[in-house]
Chain A
Amino acid sequence: MTEDLISRLIERDEAALLELYDQYGGLVYSIAVQILRDAQAAEEVMQDVFMKAWDKIGQYNPAQAKFTTWIARISRNTAIDTLRKTQSRTPEKGEFPLDDFSYTLAEIHSPDPQRTIALHSALRDLPADQSELLYLAYFGGMSHNDIAEYTGLPLGTVKSRIRAGMMQLRSIFNPKPESNA
């Protein structure tokens, strides 16, 4: 499916770009709106992302990343760039919904739905103070310092909670004990 689509994009087939939109529009928009918290801005970013994909499809290397990963990275980077251009400050408390975020399964985009379901469960099982910081780091596009300022937590605590959350998630998918020397 995607290989044929990519070939057609490289050949500058305009219909292929619209098909790409049909397949990945939901994913791109979901990422953008999570980061920007603004539907209109997310829609602008969405168009930018697909135009970037159109212009840069020749740079996509299937050996380096799945296509979903590639376009998701473009989406996140573009949304974060937009966020930083329009918001040259640490967000106000409450600007991100720390209390009510939820991970809604989007199986259609996952090349490995079982893994996605497991990740969904694992995230829900994480202590809230870890999953919230992970959310801010990924979807908030915040640095350590931004998160520390935003949450009022010491920088060291921010780092250790994010690290602990990530290590817990990794341990679920890679249960083999770490080979610490």
Chain B
Amino acid sequence: MNQEDARTLIPLYALDLLDADEQAALEQVLASDSELRTELEQYHAIVDDLPLLVEARPAPDIRDKLQSRLQQSKRRTLWLRRGYWGAFAAAIILFVLTSIYLLAGVDDQDDRDEPTPDLVQEVLQDPESRAFDVSATDETASFIGRLTIDSQTEHAVLWVDGLQALDEQDYQLWFVKSDTERFDAGVFSVDEDNVATYLVDLPEDFESYLAAGVTIEPEGGSEDPTSDPILLVDLTQ
């Protein structure tokens, strides 16, 4: 490609209109021709000004939506940081809890999937309990739910209506304390009506936890989340 051929392509290049082959050929010429590069800068300056020539006004509530997105993003970021110390801390907590269960004669974690009706009702009906709405991370999801926390009994009940039944996978609940600390609250499934009612033993220092979330994990659960959460609960509200 000679300089004149290149010159005819530069205006189109500035508008991102060239195909990959034309673009590569032109870039090769530009690399060694400062005069053409100057022309390109002049065309770019025009293209950069084009968006300044239109004006429209967004709806006034977009600012609030952006603020909400920012908060959601923060919780998500918090969630996705899987540091070594987080895994280590979670492993210690899990070990301690497992030891307590074993000493108390509790069989295994699967028993946690079966809610104890009396205790569930106690948590839900305790006037001191605090209820937090769950937020779906996928806006198209159609489930609703609530996490009810009873600090008196040190239990919580996660109730979600509309979750899909899983095949060879489980839902797993996590509590998140900081960038590096997370508590595995066990796995659960849904009943034939796609409703999950899951009784949770709260971590000891529950008040310091910032969020809870549910991920879909291989059957039996994972040591750390292996996927993004499908729902989140903001515990700071």
Q: Which residues of A are in contact with B by a Cβ distance under 8 Å?
A: 14, 17-18, 21-22, 25-27, 29-31, 33-34, 39, 42-43, 46-47, 50-51, 54-55, 65-66, 68-69, 72, 75-76, 103-106, 109-110, 115-116, 119-120, 123, 134, 137-139, 143-144, 159, 162-163, 166-167, 169-170, 173-174, 178-181
Contacts and interface: CB of A to CB of B under 8 A. Distances in A.
B53 A123 contact: yes
Interface of B: 3-4, 7-8, 11-12, 14-15, 17, 19, 35, 39, 42-43, 45-59, 62-63, 65-67, 69-70, 73
Contacts, number: 133
A-side interface mostly: helix
Contacts of B53: 103-106, 116, 119-120, 123
Given A18-B67, A173-B45, 14 more contacts: A18-B63, A26-B58, A27-B52, A39-B59, A54-B70, A65-B48, A69-B48, A75-B51, A105-B53, A106-B55, A110-B52, A143-B17, A179-B35, A181-B3
B178 to A, nearest CB: 15
Contacts of B51: 27, 30-31, 72, 75-76
Given A106-B52, A116-B52, A119-B53, A21 B66 contact: yes
Contacts of A120: 53
A104 B14 CA distance: 22
A170 B11 contact: yes
Contact of B58 (A17, A43, A66, A143): A43
B4 A180 contact: yes
Nearest to B50: A138
Contacts of B52: 27, 68, 72, 106, 109-110, 116
A125 to B, nearest CB: 13
B42 to A, nearest CB: 5
Contacts of A106: 52-55
A162 B14 CA distance: 11
Contact of A162 (B7, B11, B45): B11
A116 to B, nearest CB: 5
Contact of A72 (B12, B15, B48, B73): B48
A105 B70 CA distance: 31
A144 B17 contact: yes
B98 to A, nearest CB: 37
Contacts of B12: 144, 159, 162-163, 166
Nearest to A111: B52
19 contacts: A18-B66, A25-B63, A26-B55, A31-B54, A33-B56, A34-B56, A42-B56, A47-B62, A51-B73, A75-B51, A76-B51, A104-B55, A110-B52, A115-B49, A134-B50, A137-B17, A138-B15, A163-B11, A166-B12
A25 B49 CA distance: 17
Contacts of B56: 26, 29-30, 33-34, 42
Contacts of A51: 66, 69-70, 73
B16 to A, nearest CB: 8
A120 B55 CA distance: 13
What 10 pairs across the A-B complex have the smallest Cβ distances?
A: A166-B11, A103-B53, A29-B58, A106-B55, A72-B51, A104-B55, A69-B48, A30-B56, A30-B54, A31-B51
